[in-house]
Amino acid sequence: MRLAIGLAAAACAVIGSIASAQDYRPSFHPDQLKGPPAGAFNEVLVLGSPHLSALPDSFRPEQLEPLLDRLATWRPTAIAVENLSGLQCDAMKRQPTRYASTIRSYCYDPAKAGEAAGLDVPAANVEVERVLAVWPETPSSAQRRQLALLFLAAGEAPSAVVQWLRLPESERLAQDGLTEELVAELNRRMARRNETELIAAALAARLGLERLWAVDDHTASSDIRPDEQEGYRQAIMGSWDNPNSKARKEASAALGAGLERPGGLLAMYRAYNDPAEAEAAYRSDFGATHVEPSPEAFGRRYLGYWETRNLRMVANMRDVLGRYPGTRMLTIVGASHKGYYEAYLNQMHDVRLVSSDEVLK
C-alpha dihedral, 69 to 75 to 77 to 78, nearest 10° = -40
Query: Three-class SS of residue 329?
Result: strand
9 lies in some domain: no
Please tell me whether residues 188 and 217 are part of one structural domain: yes
Which residue, 184, 202, 221, sits at the end of a domain? Answer: 221
Helices of type H across the chain: 2-23, 65-74, 86-92, 96-106, 111-117, 121-133, 141-153, 157-166, 180-190, 195, 202-207, 229-240, 243-257, 264-272, 276-281, 287-290, 298-323, 338-345, 356-359
Please tell me whether residues 128 and 202 are part of one structural domain: yes
Give the pLDDT score at 16: 58
Please tell me whether residues 204 and 273 are part of one structural domain: no
Please tell me whether residues 238 and 351 are part of one structural domain: yes
Backbone angles phi, psi at 49, to 5 degrees: -125, 145
Domain region containing 343 = 227-356
39 lies in some domain: no
Which residue, 205, 221, 237, sits at the end of a domain? Answer: 221
Please tell me whether residues 186 and 323 are part of one structural domain: no
Rounded to whole angstroms, the Cα distance separating 95 from 214 reads 20
Give the pLDDT score at 12: 58
Contacts 24+ apart (CB under 8 A), 35-38: 35/349, 35/350, 37/325, 37/349, 37/350
Q: What angle do CA 142, 147, 152 make, to 5 degrees?
A: 130
What lies within 8 Å, CB to CB, of 251 at 6+ separation is 271
Please tell me whether residues 233 and 154 are part of one structural domain: no
Rounded to whole angstroms, the Cα distance separating 243 from 236 reads 15
Rounded to whole angstroms, the Cα distance separating 69 from 67 reads 5
26 lies in some domain: no
Which residue, 197, 221, 245, sits at the end of a domain? Answer: 221
Please tell me whether residues 304 and 193 are part of one structural domain: no
Please tell me whether residues 206 and 337 are part of one structural domain: no
Please tell me whether residues 137 and 107 are part of one structural domain: yes
Q: Pick from 69, 212, 40: which is nearest to 132 by CA?
A: 212
Backbone angles phi, psi at 296, to 5 degrees: -80, 0
What lies within 8 Å, CB to CB, of 254 at 6+ separation is none
41 lies in some domain: no
Count of domains forming the chain: 2
- Per-residue pLDDT 10s for the chain (361 aa) are 555 555 555 555 555 556 566 789 999 999 999 989 999 999 999 999 999 999 999 999 999 999 999 999 999 999 999 999 999 999 999 999 899 999 999 999 999 999 999 999 999 999 999 999 999 999 999 999 999 999 999 999 999 999 999 999 999 999 999 999 999 999 999 999 999 999 999 999 999 999 999 999 999 998 889 999 999 999 999 999 999 999 999 999 999 999 989 999 999 999 999 999 999 999 999 999 999 999 999 999 999 999 999 999 999 999 999 999 999 999 999 999 999 999 999 999 999 999 999 999 9
Q: Pick from 252, 235, 247, 248: which is nearest to 303 by CA?
A: 235
CA separation (Å) from 87 to 90, 104, 129, 218?
5, 15, 13, 12
Give the pLDDT score at 14: 53
Please tell me whether residues 95 and 202 are part of one structural domain: yes
Rounded to whole angstroms, the Cα distance separating 161 from 205 reads 9
Please tell me whether residues 260 and 145 are part of one structural domain: no
Rounded to whole angstroms, the Cα distance separating 133 from 324 reads 13
53 lies in some domain: no
262 lies in some domain: yes
Give the pLDDT score at 20: 63
Angle between helices 157-166 and 141-153 (to 10 degrees): 170
Please tell me whether residues 121 and 199 are part of one structural domain: yes
283 lies in some domain: yes
Give the pLDDT score at 17: 58
Give the pLDDT score at 3: 53
Give the pLDDT score at 336: 97
Give the pLDDT score at 289: 98
10 lies in some domain: no
Rounded to whole angstroms, the Cα distance separating 273 from 239 reads 24
